[in-house]
Amino acid sequence: MTEAPEPGPLAVSPSLPVTSYQTVGPYFKIGLEAFYRNDLTNPNTPGRIVEVAGAVLDADRAPVPDAVLEIWHADSSGRHMVQPQAKPFDDTFIGFGRVPTNEAGEFQFRTIKPGAIQASGPELQAPHILVSVFMRGLLYRLITRIYFSDEPGNADDPVLRSVEQHRRGSLIAQAVQGRPDRYEWNIYLQGENETVFFEL
């Protein structure tokens, strides 16, 4: 096998052209199912267990039964896992989940509520979960964030504040009355309440 050159760390401009995206298609289960994870909790992980449930809805408010969400978030003290895992997705808590939607377009996952994160600069980021959304019909992933409705820090979060006020609500999972530690959050792909998706 021919080896590509490995330039030093001070290379001035990119030497290789980046690989582009294609849709995940309808049959991703074959490749991705081995690492489906909708329960990230572990008896040894400190923090408050929370559940987030919702649905993915298309332009007609029809449920999307063939989407898959990937989540990534910090632990309860606001720290992200940076140590390489010995084996992909063994049982240690690393803050990664992968959740397909069911026939009704619904998803649900259980995890540890992330802590607040010191952002670049002086701003603190409110607790949040990063989400990638993949499905047939999307040529490129959608990127969004989940915040929690009962976090006072949302008001000062630099990312939430960068979003027009009337659209911020789409990024906030709502605490469910009478069901402590359960939150509801839907993804609206289009329409009046279209979810905020990010360019990264």
Partner 1 sequence: MTPVATPPSQFVYRMFQEGVLPPNFCPAYVSSVKRAPRQPLVPLPQTISELTGPTFTPPESVQSVDLTKGAHGAALGERILVGGRVLDEDGRAVAGTLVEIWQANAAGRYLHASDQHNAPLDPNFTGGASFVTDAKGRFRFETIRPGAYPWRNHPNAWRPAHIHFSVFGPAFATRLITQMYFPGDPLLPFDPIFNSIRIQAVRERLIAAFDWDTTVPEYGLGYRFDIVLRGRHETPMENKP
- In this structure, how many other beta carbons lie within 10 angstroms of the beta carbon of residue 31? 10
Sign of CA dihedral 102, 150, 164, 199: negative
| Cβ distance to partner 1 smaller for residue 15 or 177 | 15
By CB under 8 A, the residues from 30 to 49 that bind partner 1 are 30-35
Least distance between partner 1 and beta carbon 150 (Å): 20
DSSP secondary-structure letter at 39? B
| Cβ distance to partner 1 smaller for residue 163 or 176 | 163
Least distance between Fe ion and beta carbon 125 (Å): 37
Place of tokens 């979960």: 129
By CB under 8 A, the residues from 155 to 194 that bind partner 1 are 158-159, 162-163, 167, 189-190, 194
Instruction: Return the bridge partners of 67, or none.
Output: 135
- In this structure, how many other beta carbons lie within 10 angstroms of the beta carbon of residue 115? 17
Task: Tell me if 171 sits within 8 A of 145, measured CB to CB.
Answer: yes
| Cβ distance to partner 1 smaller for residue 60 or 178 | 60
SS3 state at 176:
coil
Least distance between partner 1 and beta carbon 126 (Å): 11
By CB under 5 A, the residues from 21 to 80 that bind Fe ion are 25
| Cβ distance to partner 1 smaller for residue 51 or 66 | 66
Least distance between partner 1 and beta carbon 179 (Å): 27
